Amino acid sequence: MPAAAYTDEGWFRRERELLMRPLWQFVAPGMLLNKHHAFVRRKVCGVDVVVQNFNGELRAFDNLCLHRQNPIQQQPQGVRPLVCGYHGWGYASEGDVNNIPFHDEAYRFPAQERDCLRLRRFAVARIGSLVFVNLSEKPMPIEAQFSPAALDMLRAASEQFDDEVLIARLETRFNWKLAYENLRDSLHPRYVHPRTLYQQVKFKAHMDEAAIADARTYHAQGSLDEEAHLARLRSFSGGGLNEPLVKMPHFSWHENVERFGTDDWYLNWLLFPNLHIASGSGGYSFIIEHHQPISAGRTDLLVYYVTARKKRRYPTSAAVLMAHLEGAEGVLREDIDIMEQVQSGLQLDAPRANLGDFEFANMAIERWYMDVMDGRHAL
């Protein structure tokens, strides 16, 4: 792809409109939203969005108070009614204003005007324990974005997540696409993670000749029609078993959780465009990585650490998550360093990348992405 796809702010804004906004965007794992008044606040495609639980129903709105545009929820997550802290306006499940303190004395909106006060609402979908929003006025069905197999697999894995979660936020200086090109590149771990991840998992290039031939043809010709274009999109999300673990780690806390599956493998799920879930422990614990594009050259990485669901409470569970974070952060840092290096080398007139056969997945995604950006296929 041209270097501008990674560096140019005008490109970034177009990408946000043409690609990101029409797609379903991950907001948070569901355990953060499981009780009445629980909320998460996230920037989605540049929009301040709040997802709030009203008696078990999840609703997503603009997080901007209709009075004087104060953000209604101030924290990234928590449990608190949807009430603005500036002058106390309260909001109900339809986004309607259900309380304006001192209305009759001080504001005196005509009834008609007051009835029209309603937050802009966005579509919400929950797949197992993963919550997504869509900012379009006419959202595509989530089934158009993810295949039935991907949806089933996500449900099965995420329903196994425990309720206790540790969240870390890393500010990085690379374009979000570099992270996913890197995640689909199975040759880098031996060079970038020789003393960490590569010790546990011997990643290798999978030369699926049929898939390679298909990606080459697709890269040259593109999709015939809109239906084929959407089918391609669905093919970008999936995962599961990745590689066997060299040595399955055993910890005493494993006894306290219900493991996901029985395979002593590195598990890895990629959800287009910007969500990655992995288990480096054969299903005893998970890491959820959400890359939030901030600008062409900046990406916030929100990382959630969870174990598989507890069978019983145990006193060291917080320490387990902390150790999980410390172990994973070393690997994440190695990737971040590489991607920041690549980003810093990308000048506007940089020569194009040269992808080999093993990078067939990136090849196909590049074609699909450029078709969207060049307006050959809309979403």
Residue 86 Cβ vs ligand FES, minimum distance, rounded to whole Å: 4
* Residue 196 DSSP symbol: T
**Residue 23 one-letter amino acid:** L
For position 80 contacting ligand FES by CB under 6 A, the verdict is no
359 binds, among Fe ion, ligand FES, none (CB under 5 to 8 A by kind): none
Count how many Cα atoms sit within 13 Å of the Cα of residue 54 in the half-sphere of its side chain: 14
For position 89 contacting ligand FES by CB under 6 A, the verdict is yes
Nearer Cβ to Fe ion, position 139 or 280?
Answer: 280
- Residues 353 and 351: their CA atoms lie apart, in Å, by 7
Phi first, then psi, for residue 167 (nearest 5°) are -120, 135
Residue 75 Cβ vs ligand FES, minimum distance, rounded to whole Å: 16
Q: Where are the alpha helices (DSSP H) in 140-282?
A: 142-145, 148-158, 176-183, 189-192, 197-200, 209-221, 226-235
Contact 67, 102 (CB under 8 A): no
Q: Are strands 275-279 and 265-271 parallel, antiparallel or unpaired?
A: antiparallel
- Residues 117 and 103: their CA atoms lie apart, in Å, by 13
For position 37 contacting ligand FES by CB under 6 A, the verdict is no
Nearer Cβ to ligand FES, position 67 or 259?
Answer: 67
**Binder to ligand FES among 14, 16, 43, 87 (CB under 6 A)?**
87
For position 65 contacting ligand FES by CB under 6 A, the verdict is yes
For position 67 contacting ligand FES by CB under 6 A, the verdict is yes
Residue 87 Cβ vs ligand FES, minimum distance, rounded to whole Å: 3
In 3D, which of 238, 231, 269, 273 has the Cα closest to residue 366?
A: 273
CB-based closest residue to Fe ion = 335
**Binder to ligand FES among 57, 74, 86, 295 (CB under 6 A)?**
86
For position 314 contacting ligand FES by CB under 6 A, the verdict is no
67 binds, among Fe ion, ligand FES, none (CB under 5 to 8 A by kind): ligand FES
Nearer Cβ to ligand FES, position 90 or 327?
Answer: 90
332 binds, among Fe ion, ligand FES, none (CB under 5 to 8 A by kind): none
- Residues 113 and 66: their CA atoms lie apart, in Å, by 12
- Residues 175 and 91: their CA atoms lie apart, in Å, by 36
For position 68 contacting ligand FES by CB under 6 A, the verdict is yes
Cα 128 to the chain's mean position, in Å?
14
Q: Indicate the Cα dihedral angle 161, 164, 165, 166, nearest 10°.
A: -140
The beta-strand segments (E) located in 30-89 are 38-44, 47-54, 57-62, 77-79
Nearer Cβ to ligand FES, position 67 or 118?
Answer: 67
Residue 73 Cβ vs ligand FES, minimum distance, rounded to whole Å: 11
Nearer Cβ to ligand FES, position 75 or 217?
Answer: 75
Residue 185 Cβ vs Fe ion, minimum distance, rounded to whole Å: 8
| Binding range to ligand FES, per CB under 6 A, among 37-45, 51-59, 84-92, 182-190 | 84-92
335 binds, among Fe ion, ligand FES, none (CB under 5 to 8 A by kind): Fe ion
What residue ranges bind Fe ion (CB under 5 A)? Answer: 335
| Binding range to ligand FES, per CB under 6 A, among 21-29, 79-87, 182-190, 236-244 | 79-87
Nearer Cβ to Fe ion, position 181 or 335?
Answer: 335
In 3D, which of 62, 51, 64 has the Cα closest to residue 125?
A: 51
126 binds, among ligand FES, Fe ion, none (CB under 5 to 8 A by kind): none
Nearer Cβ to ligand FES, position 87 or 155?
Answer: 87
For position 70 contacting ligand FES by CB under 6 A, the verdict is yes
Q: Binders of ligand FES: how many residues, by CB under 6 A?
A: 9
In 3D, which of 115, 118, 126 has the Cα closest to residue 32?
A: 126
Nearer Cβ to Fe ion, position 82 or 332?
Answer: 332
Contact 351, 284 (CB under 8 A): no
- Residues 330 and 371: their CA atoms lie apart, in Å, by 36
In 3D, which of 339, 331, 277, 272 has the Cα closest to residue 304?
A: 277
- Contacting positions for ligand FES (CB under 6 A): 65, 67-68, 70, 84, 86-89
